[in-house]
């Protein structure tokens, strides 16, 4: 039998069911893997005692015949999810020492399904970043290296710790959150699967807020099937989130293997952006051919306002962030840096507590929402957002899914883009449009670059049509036959 | 439009973020860089387009009854306070 850390969630589930190993053995193997890979800096909190207690409870449930869909599966949780009794800082200095007295809905659902928690994963501060370099706890390393080049690469962001941990076999799956690409882009950079569900599919309750009209939780795993299993446990209506969709959760796993025969797949020509690596463009063509070979039909579609998605995002997301992050005032929780009066205390706390990128985005957001600029920036961006959503709706009148690359490049080196803000923001040029429209999207590892780095392809479908998303992703995964692994 | 140093001071004040004097010029450049780049949205004709404020098209916010659904959790609420006493948050003096 393969090492326990090499299993997929589906394989581990079957092995546990057949009593080939216990949840405790599975947890112990992963706890050891987490400890042995600390140099990746993928975890900011390790919870081995909790993992063992969860595993023992899981073994007891299984003995009673009451195992859930994730029972005994070791997972990692992005530090953006509040976890009861376990430090949660969104990787920001301003939440120093914050220990939530409550559990986020998504992680509570995963616990109820039997998941075993290994710890909290590193991320860009408040999920603001595309390289995991803005974390207060330091950058995460991508377990992948370029061929013949030992220099460290970024794992992408903001869910960089989750992506790195899944790719390095430290956990079987991890939660991420995606506001403009924060699940899909690191999944692409680390050679794993990442799903951003439809806005409203997973509850946002208990997830530290960044941009509330965009934030969505989703699974990060090594296979499409594993993401289907994990999303099934994470999703569902929650009355505590006013934007949670009151819809039944389909059996996502049941659609796998149904194939794409007769499915119409759209190729948006505007996604061939400047700066896209030639080998990524070639991989995109190959992906389209794979789907044709599997019986799908390729249709060219036009999403002409694609190039305006990123600037739209960089108004809307900072505006919402400036409002959401106003709560960090040093009075009720987290860091307090005293001043001579309350206002000075606020200013000192926030000046010291927020990192550079977060301060910059709060200030941009404050500016675009300030008197005299609200209509010119924020309202304008909301109108363009509507046009972008309408373009997708029109395209989905003709096609069932859209295929595009996930990111314009493979993983880059630490520090390579941190000096140029716009260059960093351009990482998300292919993921942000679906975020603005609230659409479900997935990144599937589809090939390697010439220098040996993983590259992802992205599928996008209609709102709440994750079933078509998983069907097409399954076909793509089968055709790609991606078996490469880091190290 | 261009953001100058005094505008940065004003935004920082509105956002309640202390920015050291030495960082003001650099920050003005960064903000101008971003604001200059988002100006391209002016090329888009949005006449008569309704602003989209929901996360996904067609989603309406639910209403709920104005009932008490939580409470009696004073100690939980105070557990993370930087300073608390006798069941209250302790904050800097507000009224002289």
Reported as a single tens digit per residue, the pLDDT across A121-153 is 999 999 999 999 999 999 999 999 999 999 999
Residue A420: its pLDDT value, please? 84
What is the rounded average pLDDT of the residues A22-46? Answer: 98
Please state the pTM of the whole predicted model: 0.97
Residue A158 preceded by cis peptide, ω within 30? yes
Residue B94: its pLDDT value, please? 84
Cβ distance of A308 and B40 shorter than 8 Å: yes
Find the CB nearest B61 among A243, A360, A363.
Answer: A243
Cβ distance of B27 and A379 shorter than 8 Å: no
> Residue A175: which H helix or E strand, with range?
strand A173-178
Distance in angstroms (rounded) separating the CA atoms of residues A113 and A309: 37
* Mutation target among B17, B24, B85 for the A interface, most CBs of A within 10 A: B17
Neighbours of A18 (CB within 10 A): 8
Mean of the per-residue pLDDT values of chain A: 97
Residue A316: its pLDDT value, please? 98
Cβ distance of B80 and A360 shorter than 8 Å: no
* Mutation target among A238, A306, A351 for the B interface, most CBs of B within 10 A: A351
Considering only residues 188 to 227 of chain A, which have any Cβ-Cβ distance to chain B shorter than 8 Å? 198-200, 212-214, 216
Question: What is the tens place of the pLDDT at every residue in B20-41?
Answer: 999 999 999 999 999 999 999 9
> Residue A454: which H helix or E strand, with range?
strand A454-461
Distance in angstroms (rounded) separating the CA atoms of residues A172 and A114: 14
* Any domain includes B24: yes
Q: What pLDDT band is residue A62 in, cutting at 50, 70 and 90?
A: very high
- Total domains present in chain B: 1
- Total domains present in chain A: 1
Query: How far A484 CA sits from the closest chain B CA (Å)?
Result: 36
What is the rounded average pLDDT of the residues A382-390? Answer: 98
C-alpha distance from residue A306 to each of A46, A313, A322, A389, A400 (Å): 40, 11, 25, 10, 19
Query: How far B60 CA sits from the closest chain A CA (Å)?
Result: 8
> Does residue A1 carry a pLDDT above 70?
no
Q: For chains A and B, count residue pairs whose Cβ atoms are closer than 8 Å.
A: 170
Question: What is the tens place of the pLDDT at every residue in B40-56?
Answer: 999 999 999 999 988 98
In sequence order, the 6+-apart residues with CB closer than 8 A to the CB of A167 are A142, A143, A144, A155, A190, A191, A192, A222, A485, A486
> Does residue B1 carry a pLDDT above 70?
no
Residue A2: its pLDDT value, please? 59
Chain A residue numbers with beta carbons less than 8 Å from the beta carbon of B56 are 198-200, 437-439, 463
Distance in angstroms (rounded) separating the CA atoms of residues B35 and A366: 12
* Any domain includes A452: no
Backbone angles phi, psi at A459, to 5 degrees: -115, 145
Q: What is the DSSP letter of A374?
A: I
Query: How far A144 CA sits from the closest chain B CA (Å)?
Result: 32
* Any domain includes B37: yes
Find the CB nearest A332 among B44, B53, B81.
Answer: B81
Query: How far A302 CA sits from the closest chain B CA (Å)?
Result: 16
Cβ distance of B34 and A463 shorter than 8 Å: no
Cβ distance of B30 and A198 shorter than 8 Å: no
* Any domain includes B55: no
Q: What pLDDT band is residue A487 in, cutting at 50, 70 and 90?
A: confident
* Mutation target among B3, B5, B16, B64 for the A interface, most CBs of A within 10 A: B16
Cβ distance of B46 and A335 shorter than 8 Å: no
What is the rounded average pLDDT of the residues A285-299? Answer: 98
Query: How far A330 CA sits from the closest chain B CA (Å)?
Result: 7
- A385 contacts chain B (CB < 8 A): yes
* Any domain includes B19: yes
Cβ distance of B14 and A308 shorter than 8 Å: no
* Any domain includes B22: yes
Q: Which chain A residue shows the shortest CA-CA distance from B45?
A: A384
What is the rounded average pLDDT of the residues A323-340? Answer: 96
> Residue B85: which H helix or E strand, with range?
strand B84-85
* Any domain includes B9: yes
What is the rounded average pLDDT of the residues A331-359? Answer: 96
The parent domain of residue A113 ranges over 4-258
Q: Are strands A264-268 and A297-301 parallel, antiparallel or unpaired?
A: parallel
Q: What pLDDT band is residue A288 in, cutting at 50, 70 and 90?
A: very high
What is the rounded average pLDDT of the residues B2-20? Answer: 95
Query: How far B33 CA sits from the closest chain A CA (Å)?
Result: 8
Percent of chain A with pLDDT over 70: 100
Chain A residue numbers with beta carbons less than 8 Å from the beta carbon of B51 are 379, 382-383, 385-386
* Any domain includes B74: no
Q: What pLDDT band is residue A68 in, cutting at 50, 70 and 90?
A: very high
Q: What pLDDT band is residue A244 in, cutting at 50, 70 and 90?
A: very high
Identify the CA nearest to A71 among candidates A119, A34, A19: A19
Dihedral (CA of A75, A76, A78, A79) sign: positive
> Does residue B58 carry a pLDDT above 90?
no
The parent domain of residue B31 ranges over 5-42
In sequence order, the 6+-apart residues with CB closer than 8 A to the CB of B28 are B3, B4, B5, B7, B8
* Any domain includes B73: no
CB-based burial, A84-115: b 16+ in 10 Å, e otherwise: eebbbbbbbbbbbebebeebbbbbbbbbebbb
- A101 contacts chain B (CB < 8 A): yes
Neighbours of A38 (CB within 10 A): 11
Distance in angstroms (rounded) separating the CA atoms of residues A458 and A439: 12
Active site members of A = 78, 158, 182
What is the rounded average pLDDT of the residues A25-48? Answer: 98
The CATH code of the domain that includes A79 is: 3.90.1300.10
Cβ distance of A198 and B19 shorter than 8 Å: no
Q: Which chain A residue shows the shortest CA-CA distance from B63?
A: A242
Residue A19: its pLDDT value, please? 97
* Any domain includes A409: no
Instruction: Give B49's strand partners.
Output: none
> Does residue A226 carry a pLDDT above 60?
yes
């Amino acid at each position: 039998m393969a090492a326990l850390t090499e299993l997929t969630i589906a394989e581990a589930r079957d092995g546990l069911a057949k009593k080939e190993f216990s949840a405790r053995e599975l947890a112990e193997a992963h706890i050891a893997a987490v400890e042995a890979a600390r140099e990746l800096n993928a975890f900011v909190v390790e919870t081995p005692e909790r993992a063992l207690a969860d595993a023992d409870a899981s073994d007891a449930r299984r003995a009673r015949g009451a195992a859930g869909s994730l029972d005994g599966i070791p997972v990692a949780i992005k530090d953006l999810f509040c976890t009861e009794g376990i430090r949660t800082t969104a990787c920001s200095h301003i939440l120093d020492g914050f220990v939530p007295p409550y559990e986020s809905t998504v992680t509570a659902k995963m616990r109820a399904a039997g998941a075993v928690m290994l710890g909290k994963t590193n991320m860009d501060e408040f999920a603001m970043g595309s390289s995991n370099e803005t974390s207060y706890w330091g950058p995460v390393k991508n377990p992948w290296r370029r061929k013949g080049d030992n220099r460290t690469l970024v794992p992408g962001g903001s869910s960089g710790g989750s992506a790195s941990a899944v790719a390095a076999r430290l956990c079987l799956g991890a939660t991420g959150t995606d506001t403009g690409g924060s699940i899909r882009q690191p999944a692409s950079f680390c050679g794993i699967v990442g799903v951003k569900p439809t806005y409203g599919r997973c509850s946002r309750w208990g997830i530290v807020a960044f941009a509330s009209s965009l934030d969505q939780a989703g699974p990060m795993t090594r296979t499409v099937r594993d993401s289907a299993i994990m999303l099934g446990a994470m999703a569902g209506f929650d009355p505590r989130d006013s934007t949670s969709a009151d819809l039944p959760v389909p059996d996502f796993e049941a659609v796998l293997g149904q194939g794409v025969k007769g499915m119409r797949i759209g190729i948006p020509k505007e996604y061939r952006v400047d700066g896209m690596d030639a080998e990524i463009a070639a991989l995109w063509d190959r992906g389209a051919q794979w789907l044709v070979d599997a019986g799908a039909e390729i249709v060219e579609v036009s999403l002409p306002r694609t190039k305006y998605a990123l600037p739209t995002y960089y108004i809307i997301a900072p505006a919402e962030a400036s409002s959401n992050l106003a709560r960090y005032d040093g009075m009720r929780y987290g860091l307090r840096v005293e001043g001579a009066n309350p206002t000075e205390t606020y200013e000192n706390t926030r000046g010291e507590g927020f990192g550079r990128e977060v301060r910059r985005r709060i200030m941009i957001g404050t500016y675009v929402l300030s008197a005299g600029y609200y209509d010119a920036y924020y309202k304008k961006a909301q109108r363009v957002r509507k046009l972008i959503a309408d373009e997708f709706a029109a395209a989905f009148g003709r096609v069932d899914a859209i295929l595009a690359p996930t990111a314009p490049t493979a993983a880059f080196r630490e520090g390579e883009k941190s000096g140029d803000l716009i260059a960093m923001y351009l990482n998300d040029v292919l993921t942000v449009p679906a975020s603005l429209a609230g659409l479900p999207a997935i990144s599937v590892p589809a090939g390697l670059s010439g220098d040996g780095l993983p590259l992802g392809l992205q599928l996008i479908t209609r709102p709440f049509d994750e079933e078509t998303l998983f069907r097409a992703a399954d076909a793509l995964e089968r055709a790609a036959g991606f078996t490469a692994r880091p190290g | 439009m261009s953001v100058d140093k005094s505008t940065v001071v004003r935004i920082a004040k509105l956002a309640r973020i202390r920015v050291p004097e030495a960082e003001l010029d650099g920050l003005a450049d960064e903000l101008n860089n971003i604001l200059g780049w988002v100006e391209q949205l002016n090329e888009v004709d949005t006449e008569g387009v309704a602003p989209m404020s929901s996360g996904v098209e067609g989603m309406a916010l639910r209403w709920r009854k104005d009932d008490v659904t939580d409470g009696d959790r004073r100690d939980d609420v105070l557990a993370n306070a930087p300073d608390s006493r006798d069941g209250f948050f302790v904050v800097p003096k507000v009224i002289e």
